[in-house]
Amino acid sequence: MSERLQDWLPRLVLAPSFLLVLFFVYGFIIYTGYLSVSDSRMLPSYGFVGLDNYERLFKLPHWWRALNNLWVFGALYIIICTALGLLVAILLDQKIRAEGVLRPIYLYPMALSFIVTGTAWKWFLDPGIGLEHTMQQWGWESFAFNWIKDRNFAIYTVVIAAVWQSSGFVMAMFLAGLRGVDSEIIRAAQMDGASGFTIYRRIIIPLMRPVFLSAFVVLAHLAIKAYDLVIALTGGGPGQATELPATFMYSYTFTRNLMGIGASSAVIMLIMIFSIIVPYLYSELRSEKKS
Amino acid sequence: MARAVTTQRKTLNTVIAWGIGLLIFFPILWTILTSFKTEGQAIADPPLFLFFDWTLENYAVVQERSDYMRFLWNSVIIAGGSTLLGIIIAVPAAWSMAFVPSKRTKDILLWMLSTKMLPAVGVLYPIYLLFISLGLLDTRIGLTIVLMLINLPIIVWMLYTYFKEIPGEILEAARMDGASLKEEILYVLTPMAIPGIASTVLLNIILAWNEAFWTLNLTAANAAPLTAFIASYSSPEGLFFAKLSAASTMAIAPILILGWFSQKQLVRGLTFGAVK
């Protein structure tokens, strides 16, 4: 009896976690998918309407604006965070004094909630009370920085706040990668007379391809999920200037009561995330099995 | 990597690195300092850095205006409760995958972990509708359960990576000495697993504490935690800089303290274990 229990126990104790995730994540995603092909409006309703909701979704200028904003925000966010993170990591790798104190400071923003970051940056960037106001009070009368109120530039304020929050953390990823590079290879290159810059460009950075890939996956999924930062910073405005798919979905559900369209936008977001993580996880699994 | 760097270069690099650090930390530092100023001093020209009359007045005003303690208490209960619940469910699962792996273990783990990357909007409807029909909207218990569910994959994963670092030989040795499964878990595994569990707890408390999507969408007045508190200050009308600063300092204070101790766990968790 106890023998059999010992055989079964590992699977038995794994079951609750497994089933909870299966049911509450995948089960609910299927339900969302089902709503997206139904005629639900304010309440769920189960009349099948095929791909009508998707058709209507992709005819909405509002949705296209959200997608376009996601593209602008996501691209800048990923590129700037990666570039800054890599540069600062290389800097920190040069035997900086008191690095142990400095690293936590770089990482501090990541420990904060996006909602706090968004709110704080909202005040800093507000022309009436923040940076512009302060600069003018200190005597720089012509100083102007009102991007947050400007339809054409508001999306860049989201990038600023998001980059401030995440670059330290990308730095930590790269720093760990740099520390993992075999010092023998570098010594050999130095013996051959390679300069510091060449060593980084030709040897170290190519060796860190896996880190670039993980940084990309982490940043990309954060960008697609971005919700709280925008809600706190701009509320999607001015107008719809900083609307992202997540805030779009929320407003179509709870303020416009169009559940079917909201659900179809959620499904599109899920497809975007899956198209990033599935190849990544697949490659992870394959490399795992090889080694 | 470590290379020989001249003293001059080293000093220059240190100065630049600290400059960047200051730049990053400045918004936080300035907010904290401003929260102790009077409104007049907060916008003084030239700006006052450290030499002003420190006052706690702003904190009193914020507490009176929006009952900070209630939000704080909600945050403590929700973050603590969801972490505790998650750990109870995840420890056995992680134990089973780390020490009695099967052919599918790695697949199951990655599959579970992948769910943490999915956007919350994908499950917003069913959870929202379920909450309405069960009367769980704006309750602490409802929020505790949801936050436990969304963080469960990361808890299992983190525990697994920590458990994996415990050498299996020790368990075999204990078994050779005739220890039963119960003894093995109680006297051999548990003491070695405590640090990993503590790290996971710390990470998860921060994740749950910072969670805003669900707290904003599923709470109104009763169960609202600090993320909702800070969101209620997001329109600055009627408040001045010093009081806004006090409100945000109060919202981030617990995280500023916890965050200092849990940098490593945070990076490890947010990179899904890629950086240790």
Q: Indicate whether B31 and B48 sit together in one domain.
A: yes
Q: Which carries the bigger pLDDT value, residue B189 or residue A212?
A: A212
Which range marks the domain in which residue B181 is found? 64-270
Residue A102 lies in a domain: yes
In the block, residue with structure tokens 């079964």: A8
Residue A52 lies in a domain: no
Q: How many inter-chain contacts (A to B, CB under 8 Å) are there?
A: 275
Nearest to B230 among A119, A128, A214 (CB): A119
Residue A2 lies in a domain: no
Q: What was the pLDDT predicted at B2?
A: 46
Helix residue ranges per DSSP H, chain B = 7-34, 39-42, 57-66, 68-99, 105-117, 124-134, 140-164, 168-176, 181-183, 190-210, 213-218, 226-231, 241-261, 263-270
Q: Indicate whether B42 and B73 sit together in one domain.
A: no
Q: Indicate whether B124 and B250 sit together in one domain.
A: yes
**pLDDT at residue A157 is higher than 50:** yes
Chain A nearest C-alpha distance from B62 (Å): 16
| Residues of A (53-112) whose Cβ lies below 8 Å from B | 88, 91-99, 102-112
Q: In chain B, how many domains are there?
A: 2
Residue A228 lies in a domain: yes
Kindly indicate the confidence band of residue A53, based on its pLDDT and cuts at 50, 70 and 90: confident
ipTM of the modeled complex: 0.81
Nearest CA in chain A to B114: A277
Q: Indicate whether B13 and B133 sit together in one domain.
A: no
Nearest to A269 among B5, B119, B213 (CB): B119
The angle formed by the CA atoms of residues A244, A250 and A251, to the nearest 5 degrees, is: 90
Q: Indicate whether B147 and B50 sit together in one domain.
A: no
Kindly indicate the confidence band of residue A127, based on its pLDDT and cuts at 50, 70 and 90: confident
In the block, residue with structure tokens 């409802």: B142
**pLDDT at residue A60 is higher than 80:** yes
Percentage of chain B with pLDDT > 90?
Answer: 7
Residue A4 lies in a domain: no
Residue B213, strand partner residues = none
Residue A235 lies in a domain: yes
Q: Say whether B267 and A267 touch across the interface (CB within 8 A).
A: no
Nearest CA in chain B to A266: B122
Arithmetic mean of pLDDT, A9-30: 85
In angstroms, the Cα distances linking B155 to A30, A107, A192, B185, B264 are 24, 21, 47, 19, 15
Asked whether the beta carbons of A18 and B108 are under 8 A apart, the reply is: yes
**pLDDT at residue B47 is higher than 80:** no
Assess B263–A contact: CB distance below 8 Å, yes or no.
yes
Residue B243 lies in a domain: yes
Q: What was the pLDDT predicted at B1?
A: 45
Q: Which carries the bigger pLDDT value, residue B1 or residue B44?
A: B44
Q: Say whether A169 and B209 touch across the interface (CB within 8 A).
A: no
**pLDDT at residue A199 is higher than 80:** yes
Chain A nearest C-alpha distance from B16 (Å): 8
Q: Indicate whether B237 and B109 sit together in one domain.
A: yes
Residue B258 lies in a domain: yes
In angstroms, the Cα distances linking A241 to A67, A229, B220 are 11, 14, 27
CATH of residue A89's domain is: 1.10.3720.10
Residue B2 lies in a domain: no
**pLDDT at residue A168 is higher than 60:** yes
Q: Indicate whether B153 and B226 sit together in one domain.
A: yes
Nearest CA in chain A to B148: A20
How would you label B41-79 residue by residue, b for 16+ Cβ within 10 Å and e otherwise? bbbeeebeeeebeeeeebbebbeeeeebebbbebbebbb
Percentage of chain A with pLDDT > 90?
Answer: 16
Q: Is the pTM of this model over 0.80?
A: yes
**pLDDT at residue B143 is higher than 60:** yes
Assess B257–A contact: CB distance below 8 Å, yes or no.
no
Q: Which carries the bigger pLDDT value, residue B31 or residue B49?
A: B31
Residue B1 lies in a domain: no
3-class SS of residue A193: coil
Asked whether the beta carbons of B203 and B265 are under 8 A apart, the reply is: yes
Q: Which residues in chain A have their CB less than 8 angstroms from residue B210's CB?
A: 111-115
Q: Say whether B122 and A181 touch across the interface (CB within 8 A).
A: no
Q: Indicate whether B87 and B202 sit together in one domain.
A: yes
Kindly indicate the confidence band of residue B276, based on its pLDDT and cuts at 50, 70 and 90: low
Q: Say whether B230 and A137 touch across the interface (CB within 8 A).
A: no
Q: Indicate whether B24 and B73 sit together in one domain.
A: no
Arithmetic mean of pLDDT, B97-106: 82
Q: Indicate whether B77 and B199 sit together in one domain.
A: yes
pLDDT digits (tens, 9 = 90+) for B210-256: 888 888 888 887 888 888 888 777 665 555 778 888 888 888 888 88
Assess B29–A contact: CB distance below 8 Å, yes or no.
no
| Residues of B (69-88) whose Cβ lies below 8 Å from A | none
Residue A47 lies in a domain: no
Which of A96, A198, A254 is the best mutation test for B, with the most CBs of B within 10 A?
A: A96
Which tokens in the block code for residue A181? 């590079």
Q: Say whether A270 and B127 touch across the interface (CB within 8 A).
A: no
CATH of residue B251's domain is: 1.10.3720.10
Q: Indicate whether B38 and B89 sit together in one domain.
A: no
Given B19, B39, B59, which residue is the final one in a domain? B59
Q: Indicate whether B113 and B134 sit together in one domain.
A: yes
Nearest to A214 among B100, B211, B271 (CB): B271
Rounded to the nearest integer, the mean pLDDT of chain B is 82
Chain A nearest C-alpha distance from B73 (Å): 17
Nearest CA-CA partner of A185 in B5, B274, B6, B2: B2
Nearest CA in chain A to B92: A13
Q: In chain A, how many domains are there?
A: 1
Asked whether the beta carbons of A62 and A270 are under 8 A apart, the reply is: no
Which range marks the domain in which residue A234 is found? 62-290
Q: Say whether B124 and A88 touch across the interface (CB within 8 A).
A: no
Nearest CA-CA partner of A112 in B82, B152, B227: B227
Q: What was the pLDDT predicted at A67?
A: 92
